[in-house]
């Protein structure tokens, strides 16, 4: 009450004009002169930081231009709206602060705060530009994201598989070299057979403009394949690397006739021959029929995912267990009500608290990087990382639970003539159980969720597999892992909420 | 019999909570301590069972020196002194029966009690105690599910389990409404008259003091400023009562006091 009265009585030692001039020269100076010191400092700080940030962004946008004006024009050219708005708002702000300084000398008009909305608006505009937010990008390449996304969202086609049987015939082809063409393959009864005519030629290549120069047109003749079956064409270079040639973006393939024969024309594919390659280059063309045999069975990604999700859940459990074991004794050292009896114990309290806060501030992923160096790749590193973080987090939560204990029941039990142990069992433990269970379950929940990503840095668990699949562009397999993570985490959420509700 | 001689208590922060307090409680007495909050009532009661260690003076309980007792000896003294609290001090998450049984901890084998195992006689006794305060049907509820009055009855049943020869009651009805106050004090009076348990009780409504006390002492700033018998209290006037409470009390609690005086 008294504060408000005092503020209203505070009289400005300068008149409005002086304040306006002062603030026009240095924003905020007029407000300070009118004894609105905090407001003045805040405005001065805002103007300085906005000015600094604008200069920096203009410099970044106008990089490589020489001199002030060329830099500004280049920046205006690249991000006209941002730079224009920024400079206008900055000027406007400067003027407004001068006007505001005049108003501050009048005690009745001191409480205009809309100027701070303008300052916030400018800050968010700068933030928008610094973080390179681009609505355009969200939409322009959205269709690119759809293919992997759709595979991740519905990956179940790759969850099952069948054993396969392969029928294959191959023929040698001499490419890009002079000499005796290789021998024609020998036809054997009942075995798949193909030959190429001609069996020598030039591969497709690229000119200076990266335009394709088509290679030699060859005809493939195949016999003794399974009838009426799709047949894939594969190519193998001189060092045995296999790939599937494409024509107009589609893999080259054909379907055999009723006798199991085919005839197919194709252009020899593009393959970069290293300049160091010497002598005659022999490639191979192959025709392959892959047929599925036997019943459906879980695919390898599915099996791996299940194995690793189990590993992940147990990693979370083990880390929580170790976390409890270490954090319970530590939490006593970090409980103010237990440690406040002497300066030494208070010192221990502060040291413990500080260490816990530092350890907790470092994310488990970073601890995992350290743990991988310490104990090597694998789930144990993940457990070590999660344990360290859990000790710090649980230590703090438990110690707060100890601090929050009601001393009333303790003195009541003591008054009955109970000994120390009985007092702890009857008055302390019942009070500790709900927060203890609640925090532990909460931590377990966090640990399992964390162990799904801790594999990304080599800490074991499903994260490792997920990152691998994504890097190999196997989006369906990655999708299976994502689904299992999502299912596990939701079940865990539900279970932990249920348990907490029961105990608390 | 309880004898208190020259009892003083200075807290580590320098607060002098009790100054040279001396009085005796004969067996079967219902002694009421009155005084403002902060006058030392709670400290005095807690010194008697050594929840608070007195700085100076002596407390003799049935001839035993409470102030010198340690360890087992202290626990044996404590189990003969029941205690009832303003905020009940029940273990909220334990059920009513466990709360009552915890009054028996001083008599129970420590190891089996740690596993929450009590002899069947103790359980029967606990049920009898609950019946006595009229809440036997609540025995399996959690303590925090009960109403204030019910909770204080559990507190009384817990004290009863100790087979006490004395009960300390620290503002036992201050958290309850006036009707419940009479019920609860009625139970305490019943202990006093039927079981011949002496009672030390702090109160601050004059009509309650007049109704229940057989003897009164008044505390102000840790010193005894008033001693009265049952007859003295009956004739006590509003002004005398306010005198003990001090002039500040008049303004703060005038409404409550006048309500209690007529």
The answer, yes or no, to whether residue B261 has pLDDT greater than 60, is no
- Of residues B137, B179, B183, the one with CA closest to residue B156: B183
Q: Using one digit for the tens of pLDDT, what is the confidence trace for B195-227?
A: 899 999 998 777 888 889 999 998 888 999 888
Query: What is the 8-class DSSP label of residue A164?
Result: E
Complete edge-to-edge strand list for the sheet that includes strand B16-25: B16-25, B2-10, B56-61, B64-65
Least confident residue range of A329-338, A381-390, B74-83:
A329-338
For chain B, the residue count is: 262
Closest by Cβ to B102, choosing from A411, A413, A434: A413
Do B51 and A416 lie within an 8 Å CB cutoff? Answer: no
Phi/psi at B16 (nearest 5 deg)? Answer: -90, 105
CA distance A445 to A225: 56
Beta-ladder partners of A163: A293
How far away is chain A from the Cα of B106, in angstroms, using its nearest Cα? Answer: 5
Which chain A residues are closer than 8 Å to B167 by Cβ?
none
Q: Judge contact between B180 and B148, C-beta under 8 A.
A: yes
Interface touch A416/B162, C-beta < 8 Å: yes
**pLDDT of A114 higher than 90:** no
User: Is residue B16 within a helix (H) or strand (E), and if so which, with residue range?
Assistant: strand B16-25
Could A408 and B106 be called an inter-chain contact, meaning their C-beta atoms sit closer than 8 Å?
no
Residue indicated by tokens 């005049």: A102
> Measured between alpha carbons, how far is A73 from A61 in angstroms, rounded to an integer?
10
Task: Read off the pLDDT of each residue in A132-145 and give the average, rounded to a whole number.
Answer: 83
Task: Name which residue leads in pLDDT, A321 or A2.
Answer: A321
With both helix axes pointing from N to C terminus, report the angle between A114-130 and A37-61 in degrees, rounded to the nearest 10. Answer: 30
User: Is pLDDT above 70 for B250?
Assistant: no
Which domains, ranges and CATH numbers included, belong to chain A?
Answer: 11-133 (no CATH), 158-296 (2.60.40), 300-503 (1.10.3720.10)
CB-based contact A196:A184 (threshold 8 Å): no
Interchain proximity B105–A408, CB inside 8 Å: no
Domain range list for chain B = 1-80+199-262
Average pLDDT, chain A: 88
Task: With cut-offs at 50, 70 and 90, classify the pLDDT of residue A7.
Answer: very low
pLDDT at A497 > cutoff 60: yes
Note whether A34 and A19 are within 8 A (CB).
yes
CB < 8 Å to A411, chain B: 46, 51, 85, 89
A421–B110 C-beta distance less than 8 A: yes
pLDDT for position B252: 36
The Cα-based distances of A394 to A382, A424, B92 in angstroms read: 17, 21, 24
- Which is higher by pLDDT, A362 or B248? A362
**pLDDT for position B50:** 92
Q: What percent of chain A has pLDDT over 90?
A: 37
Q: How far does chain A reach from its first CA to its final CA, in angstroms?
A: 42
Write the DSSP symbol of residue A428: I
Please tell me if residue B68 touches chain A, with a CB cutoff of 8 Å.
no
Which 8-state DSSP code applies to residue A458?
T
What's the pLDDT at B202?
92
A425-464 residues touching B, CB cutoff 8 A: 425-427, 430-431, 433-434
pLDDT for res A5 = 41
Q: Which residues of A touch B92 (CB under 8 A)?
A: 406, 409, 430-431
SS3 A344: helix
The reply to whether ipTM tops 0.95 is: no
Rounded to whole angstroms, the Cα distance separating A117 from A395 reads: 41
Contacts A–B by Cβ distance under 8 A = 84
CATH number of the domain at B1-80+199-262, please? 3.40.50.300
Does B252 touch chain A if contact means CB atoms closer than 8 Å? no
A462-471 and A300-333 helices, crossing angle to 10°: 130
Give the whole-angstrom CA distance, residue B2 versus residue B52: 17
At B98-134, the pLDDT tens digits run: 999 999 999 988 888 888 888 999 999 999 999 989 9
Q: Give the predicted TM-score (pTM) of the model.
A: 0.66
Residue B254 has pLDDT above 80, yes or no: no
Q: What is the pLDDT of residues A180-231, one digit of tens each?
A: 888 888 888 888 999 898 888 888 888 888 888 889 999 999 998 888 888 9
């Amino acid at each position: 009450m008294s504060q408000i009265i005092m503020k209203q009585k505070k009289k400005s030692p300068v008149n409005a004009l002086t304040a306006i001039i002062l603030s026009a020269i240095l924003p905020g100076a007029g407000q300070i002169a009118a004894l609105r010191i905090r407001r003045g400092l805040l405005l001065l700080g805002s103007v300085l930081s906005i000015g600094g940030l604008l200069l920096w962004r203009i410099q970044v946008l106008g990089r490589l231009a020489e001199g002030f004006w060329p830099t500004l024009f280049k920046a205006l050219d690249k991000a006209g709206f941002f730079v224009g708005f920024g400079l206008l708002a900055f000027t406007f702000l400067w003027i407004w602060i001068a006007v505001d300084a005049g108003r501050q000398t009048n005690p009745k008009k001191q409480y205009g705060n809309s100027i701070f909305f303008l300052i916030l608006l400018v800050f968010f505009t700068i933030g928008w530009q610094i973080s390179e937010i681009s609505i355009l990008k969200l939409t322009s390449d959205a269709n690119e994201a759809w293919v992997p996304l759709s595979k991740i969202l519905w990956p179940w086609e790759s969850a099952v598989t069948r054993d396969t049987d392969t029928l294959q015939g191959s023929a040698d082809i001499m490419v890009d070299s002079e000499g005796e063409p290789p021998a024609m393959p020998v036809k054997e009864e009942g075995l798949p057979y193909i030959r190429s005519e001609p069996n020598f030629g030039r591969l497709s290549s690229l000119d200076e403009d990266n335009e394709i120069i088509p290679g030699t047109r060859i005809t493939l003749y195949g016999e003794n394949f399974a009838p009426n079956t799709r047949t894939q064409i594969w190519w193998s270079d001189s060092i045995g690397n296999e790939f599937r040639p494409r024509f107009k973006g589609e893999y080259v393939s054909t379907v055999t006739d009723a006798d199991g024969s085919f005839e197919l024309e194709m252009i020899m594919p593009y393959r970069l021959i290293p300049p160091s390659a010497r002598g005659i280059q022999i490639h191979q063309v192959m025709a392959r029929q892959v047929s599925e045999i036997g019943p459906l069975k879980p695919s390898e990604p599915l099996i791996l995912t299940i194995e690793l999700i189990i590993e992940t859940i147990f990693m979370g459990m083990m880390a929580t267990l170790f976390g409890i074991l270490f954090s319970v004794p530590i939490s006593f050292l970090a409980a103010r009500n237990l440690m406040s009896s002497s300066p030494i114990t208070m010192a221990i309290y502060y040291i413990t608290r500080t260490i816990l806060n530092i350890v907790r501030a470092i994310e488990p992923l970073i601890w995992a990087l350290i743990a991988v160096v310490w104990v090597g790749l694998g789930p144990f590193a993940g457990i070590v990382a999660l344990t360290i973080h859990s000790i710090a987090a649980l230590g703090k939560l438990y110690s707060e639970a100890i601090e929050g204990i009601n001393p009333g029941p303790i003195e009541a039990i003591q008054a009955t003539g109970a000994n120390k142990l009985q007092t702890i069992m009857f008055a302390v433990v019942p009070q500790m159980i709900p927060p203890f269970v609640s925090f532990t379950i909460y931590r377990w929940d966090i640990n399992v969720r964390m162990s799904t990503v801790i594999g990304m840095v080599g800490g074991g668990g499903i994260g490792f597999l997920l990152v691998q699949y994504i890097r190999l562009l196997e989006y369906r397999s990655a999708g299976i892992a994502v689904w299992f993570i999502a299912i596990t985490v939701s079940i865990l959420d539900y279970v932990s909420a249920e348990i907490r509700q029961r105990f608390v | 019999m309880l004898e208190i001689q020259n009892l003083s208590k200075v807290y580590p922060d320098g607060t002098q909570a009790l100054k040279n307090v001396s009085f005796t409680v004969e067996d079967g007495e219902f002694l009421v301590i009155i005084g403002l909050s902060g006058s030392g009532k709670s400290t005095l009661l807690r010194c008697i069972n050594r929840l608070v260690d007195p700085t100076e003076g002596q407390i003799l309980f049935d001839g035993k020196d409470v102030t010198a007792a340690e360890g087992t000896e202290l626990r044996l003294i404590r189990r003969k002194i029941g205690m009832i609290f303003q905020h009940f001090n029940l273990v909220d998450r334990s059920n009513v029966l466990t709360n009552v049984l915890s009054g028996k901890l001083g008599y129970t084998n420590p190891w089996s009690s740690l596993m929450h195992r009590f002899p069947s006689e103790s359980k029967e006794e606990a049920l009898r105690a609950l019946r006595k305060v009229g809440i036997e049907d609540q025995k399996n509820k959690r303590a925090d599910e009960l109403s204030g009055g019910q909770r204080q009855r559990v507190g009384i049943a817990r004290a009863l389990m100790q087979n006490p020869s004395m009960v300390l009651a620290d503002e036992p009805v201050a958290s309850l409404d006036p009707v419940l106050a009479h019920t609860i004090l009625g139970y305490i009076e019943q202990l006093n008259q039927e079981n011949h348990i002496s009672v030390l009780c702090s109160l601050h409504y004059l009509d309650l003091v007049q109704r229940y006390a057989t003897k009164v002492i008044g505390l102000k700033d840790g010193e005894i400023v008033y001693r009265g018998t049952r007859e003295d209290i009956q004739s006590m006037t509003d002004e005398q009562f306010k005198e003990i409470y001090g002039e500040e009390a008049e303004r703060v609690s005038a409404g409550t006091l006048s309500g209690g005086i007529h």
